[in-house]
Amino acid sequence: MAEISSLGYLVLGVSNLDSWEQFATSIMGFQVGIRTEHLLTLRMDQYNYRFMLEKDPSDDLIAVGWELSTEEQLENYVNRLRAKGLKVSEATEFLRSYRKVARLYTCADPNGYTHEFYVGPTQENGVNYFRSQHIRSGFKTGPYGLGHFVAIAKDVEESIVFYRDILGLKLSGYMIPSNAFKVAFFHTKNGRYHTLATGEVPIPKRIMHFAVEVNSLNDVGMTHDRAVEAGIPITSSIGHHPNAESVSFYMRTPSGFDAEILAGEMIVDDDNWQIKTYQEFSDWGHKPPKNLPDNS
């Protein structure tokens, strides 16, 4: 069955490209791909980009790029979406070229952003190989994609149905710390515990945070130190997630939502997986600071 391989890219609308460039390169350890007055692309590996930042006052999520492995898989996947009643359109030649992929389809999300399904992402040549000034171990990408993001749901049950039953993402588990709050976690073909999570959170955005994974816990700690030294607000201290088995911390981006950097996330074995519900986000750490400025 045709299915999504990985989260390939995120498109963000941001109001301050200069602040984002500084944050992305000096703190996160990304590399600039393209920089113009209205566009900033960021690299984590040999892909032409993993983040596309467009000049936009929303400071929010615009689109999510889902990668499939072959054109046949893409066509079969799109046909399956259409058979379920979802309106899926082939992208214009301009958008396909702008996203730097071979084939591209799009559809609307019930929470206000766009899903894009593609094959054939542009790879950089040997002259432009990825090199981070700060992340020594490298980012865990390749078949595992960019990482994950948390989408704010207008209606969590409706969103679960859309992501699971329509898009075909696989449910990893739930986090229900109280009867009034429920978060669902989904993975793709690569098995990374969560590529997308969703829940109803009272913030005026479509995205709560995005996350990238590094290959060494040391890089999590060194990124934390860089952020503290640069005065970046740490929104959640270093801690451990019991569901994903990852160690991470969260910091405030220039757009008001958070970025998480983590190491050690578990890989789901679908043949032997049992969905579980957790009551706590963290079993240690992940404490909020006492005086965090509200930039959301």
Residue owning tokens 């084939």: 103
Is residue 114 domain-shared with residue 221, that is, in the same domain?
no
Is residue 42 domain-shared with residue 120, that is, in the same domain?
yes
Residue 294 belongs to a domain: no
Three-state SS sequence of the chain: CCCCCEEEEEEEEECCHHHHHHHHHHHHCCEEEEECCCEEEEECCCECCCEEEEECCCCEEEEEEEECCCHHHHHHHHHHHHHCCCCCEECCHHHHHHHCCCEEEEEECCCCCEEEEEECCCECCHHHCCCCCCCCCCECCHHHCCCEEEEECCCHHHHHHHHHHHCCCEEEEEEEEECCEEEEEEECCCCECCCEEEECCCCCCCEEEEEEEECCHHHHHHHHHHHHHHCCCEEEEEEEECCCCEEEEEEECCCCCEEEEEECCCECCHHHCCCEEECCCCCECCCCCCCCCCCC
Residue 98 belongs to a domain: yes
Is residue 150 domain-shared with residue 202, that is, in the same domain?
yes
Cα(165)–Cα(182) distance, integer angstroms: 18
Residue 287 belongs to a domain: no
Residue 135 belongs to a domain: no
Is residue 76 domain-shared with residue 119, that is, in the same domain?
yes
Is residue 28 domain-shared with residue 112, that is, in the same domain?
yes
Is residue 91 domain-shared with residue 152, that is, in the same domain?
no
Is residue 113 domain-shared with residue 175, that is, in the same domain?
no
Residue 76 belongs to a domain: yes
Domain count, the chain: 2
Residue 44 belongs to a domain: yes
CATH of the domain at 66: 3.10.180.10
pLDDT in tens, the chain (296 residues): 889 999 999 999 999 999 999 999 999 999 999 999 999 999 999 999 999 999 999 999 999 999 999 999 999 999 999 999 999 999 999 999 999 999 999 999 999 999 999 999 999 987 788 989 999 999 999 999 999 999 999 999 999 999 999 999 999 999 998 888 999 999 999 999 999 999 999 999 999 999 999 999 999 999 999 999 999 999 999 999 999 999 999 999 999 999 999 999 999 999 999 999 999 999 999 999 876 555 44
Residue 283 belongs to a domain: no
Structural domain range at position 236? 142-278
Is residue 201 domain-shared with residue 86, that is, in the same domain?
no
Is residue 123 domain-shared with residue 228, that is, in the same domain?
no
